[in-house]
Amino acid sequence: MEESKGLNCFFSTEAILTENLTKVFKTRVGNIIALEDVNISVKQGEFLCIVGPSGCGKTTFLRILGGLEKQTSGRFYMRSRNPQKPLTSMVFQGDSIFPWMTVAENVTYGLRIKGIPPRDRREAAIRFLKLMGLLKFIDAYPYQLSGGMKQRINVARAFVSDPEILLMDEPFGALDEQNRLILQQELLKIWEGSGKTSLFITHSIDEALMLGDRVMVMTAHPGKIKAIVEVDIERPRNILLLRSSPEFASLYREIWHLLQEEVEKAKARELSA
Amino acid sequence: MSMAEEQIEKTFGQVIVKEEKARMQSKAVAGRELLLKVLAFLSPSLLLVLWEILSRLGVIDVRLFSSPSRIFYALIPMLYSGELLYHTMVSTRRIVLGFLAGAIPGVAIGLSMGLFPPVRASLMPMVAATFPIPKLAVMPLILIIFGLGETSKIFTIAIGVFYLVLINTMAGVLNIDEIYLDVAKNFGASRLQFYTTVALPGALPMIFAGFKLGMGTALLLIVAAELSAAKAGVGWMVWRAYDMFDIEKMFVALITMAFLGYVFSSLLDLIERIVIPWKNPKG
């Protein structure tokens, strides 16, 4: 992103590198440090999950990488291997597909912005919706879709624009358990074929372990990296079998302990305030 | 009969009973819906009948309140002679032209005020200051400026429509959920792309709400606009009937206005369904 001087080591295998990334929000009650000195490097094609108590700056971190906000200090680098492609696409939390566009128009919004002609957009929509089993809804409007379908479109919209890096902010947070499992499996399927570097915020340790190569655990107030946990579970993964494996159980415990400390600290802070 | 069969019969018996109950319930629902429809038709008809009876019995004064049959007998010749159609067309032309003259600049200025903070900052004080002035109070001034012709009537209606459409359009743009702005930004939309893919479609429902409010005001203002210096129109009919103390004709004009209002609002609903096919019909 920025000029490369001062860059210590940004290897060709890395897609993202952040250096002391800090974000301070000025509010009436004083400054809130949303992010403090976040240093992480994400490998090309890696799936990194981010967990942490609410208010730990996860979303802020993603929004800075996605260009929706500016950091207060520090810097980050992102590698663009193909200047034709957009660098990042974001999957937003909750309902963010345009109600005034059909499914096809929503899914190909990124292509429209890039000036791809309508016929090619239509083809891309057909190809992708077929893959997701949503072809018969291609000309439907969002009000005609269920919550699960809307989130599929939300994810599809980011994939169709074919970015180098995918930034996903709790895309399945509002879904029920069954839909969640189905969408996780679908996401894994598309992602494994694409090899895209992906950052994925979640509240759920389960979800982080099912999807991620690594899990970044954050602390709140200020938002810092507490630990990074390697998820050594081979791919392709089967979400249902995964849950009952012993590695999964021990990783779950490890992350739970890390998070529990944070949750208790947050509670203590609330009580003293 | 074995125990198992007995068991099955017991179970199936219960199932049948339940099915019947369900069928009866759906019948009851359908019956209730029918009853509501009948009521919606019956209660106004009943009111008309009551009105007729009371006027014939002399309980209400027909000189003031007329009666359904008298109004009907006044209406028929007016329909045949083309008198009613003529006045309706004159008013319709004024309403349509006034509506367009108010709505088009209302949308244009409302959009730019919603999209560009400098435009909003410079125009908002004037809009806020002049909006509360009753449009009827401006009419004499309009008459002096535009004379007694059609222009003054169209302008009066246009002013009333203009403010409502402008304020709704601006609010429509400002109320677009921020997440959609983020999506456009994240995909790298240019300003122009943002206007055409997010701002305008996102504001459309509110713009139409403004149109509907504006149409209501247009019907209100037509009566006032045709009060002074008019020679035709449904509003003029009311005032003419007042001068002649022709209560039946007055009622005919009122009914025509109700009809006009219904036609215009149905027309707007129809256009809305075509322009905003993505709007959930269930609200």
Share of chain A above pLDDT 90, in %: 57
**Lowest-pLDDT range of A116-130, A149-163, B8-22, B62-76:** B8-22
What average pLDDT does chain A have? 89
Q: Which residues of A touch B179 (CB under 8 A)?
A: 92, 94-96
Q: Where are the domains of chain A?
A: 1-87+165-273, 96-162
DSSP secondary structure, A28-94, as one string = TTEEEEEEEEEEEEEETT-EEEEE--TTSSHHHHHHHHTTSS--SEEEEEE--S-TTS-SEEEE-SS
Q: What is the mean pLDDT of residues A23-35?
A: 88
How many A/B residue pairs have CB atoms within 8 Å?
59
In what helix (H) or strand (E) does residue A220 lie, and over which residues does it extend?
A: none
Contacts of residue B102, Cβ cutoff 8 Å, sequence gap at least 6: B157, B158, B159, B160, B161, B162, B165, B214, B218
Torsion of CA A141, A144, A150, A154, to 10 degrees: 0
Q: Which pLDDT value is given to residue A1?
A: 45
Quick check: B226 and B91 in contact, CB under 8 A?
yes
pLDDT band at A30 (very low <50, low <70, confident <90, very high): confident
Which option is the CATH number for A1-87+165-273: 3.30.379.10, 3.40.50.300, 3.40.50.1000, 3.30.70.600? 3.40.50.300
pLDDT less than 50: residues of chain B: none
What integer pLDDT is reported at residue B18 of this predicted model? 64
Minimum Cα–Cα distance from A95: chain B residue: B179
pLDDT at position A4 over 50: no
Q: What is the pLDDT of residue A108?
A: 95
The third-level CATH classification (topology) of the domain covering B69-275 is MetI-like fold (1.10.3720)
Domain ranges of chain B: 1-60, 69-275
Tell me: pLDDT of A163 over 60: yes
B274 in contact with A, Cβ within 8 Å: no
Distance CA B105, CA B210 (A): 13
Nearest CA in chain A to B187: A110
Within an 8 Å CB–CB cutoff, is residue A113 touching chain B? yes
Give the number of residues written for chain A: 273
The pLDDT tens digits of the residues spanning B60-87 come to: 898 899 999 999 999 999 999 999 999 9
> pLDDT category, A2, cuts 50, 70, 90?
very low
B183 and chain A in contact, CB less than 8 A: yes
Decide: A220 and A232 in contact? Cβ < 8 Å: no
Question: Average pLDDT of A194-211?
Answer: 92
Find the CB nearest A68 among B180, B185, B190: B185
Tokens of A244: 């009952």
Contact A221, A55 (CB under 8 A): yes
CA proximity to B94, closest of B211, B210, B236 = B236
What does the pLDDT look like over A68-112, one tens digit per residue? Answer: 999 999 999 998 888 888 899 999 987 899 999 999 999 999 999
Interface residue B188 vs chain A (CB under 8 A)? yes
- Predicted local distance difference test score (pLDDT) of residue A53: 85
Q: What is the largest CA-CA distance in chain A?
A: 61
Which residues in chain B have their CB less than 8 angstroms from residue A67's CB? 185-186
pLDDT at B106: 97
Q: Which structure tokens are listed for A202? A: 């979640």
Q: Do A86 and B201 touch (CB under 8 A)?
A: no
pLDDT in tens, B160-204: 999 999 999 999 999 999 999 999 999 999 999 999 999 999 999
CB neighbour class for B233 (10 Å; exposed up to 12, middle 13-18, buried from 19): buried
Instruction: Indicate the residue of B186, B189, B193 with minimum beta-carbon distance to A66.
Output: B186
> Which residues in chain A are closer than 8 Å to B182, comparing Cβ atoms?
68, 90, 92, 96
Is the Cβ of B276 closer than 8 Å to some Cβ of chain A? Answer: yes
Asked if B183 lies within 8 A of A94 by C-beta distance, the reply is: no
CB B182 to CB A112 under 8 A? no
Is pLDDT of A6 > 60?
A: no
Nearest to B182 among A68, A142, A161 (CB): A68
One-letter amino acid for residue A3 of the chain: E
* Best residue in B275, B278, B280 for a mutation probing chain A (most A CBs within 10 Å): B278
Q: Which residues contact B36 (CB under 8 A, 6 or more apart)?
A: none
pLDDT for A8: 52
Contact B188 A86 (CB under 8 A): yes
Q: Using the beta-carbon criterion (under 8 Å), do B186 and A68 form an inter-chain contact?
A: yes
Q: Which residue of chain B has the CA closest to A66?
A: B186
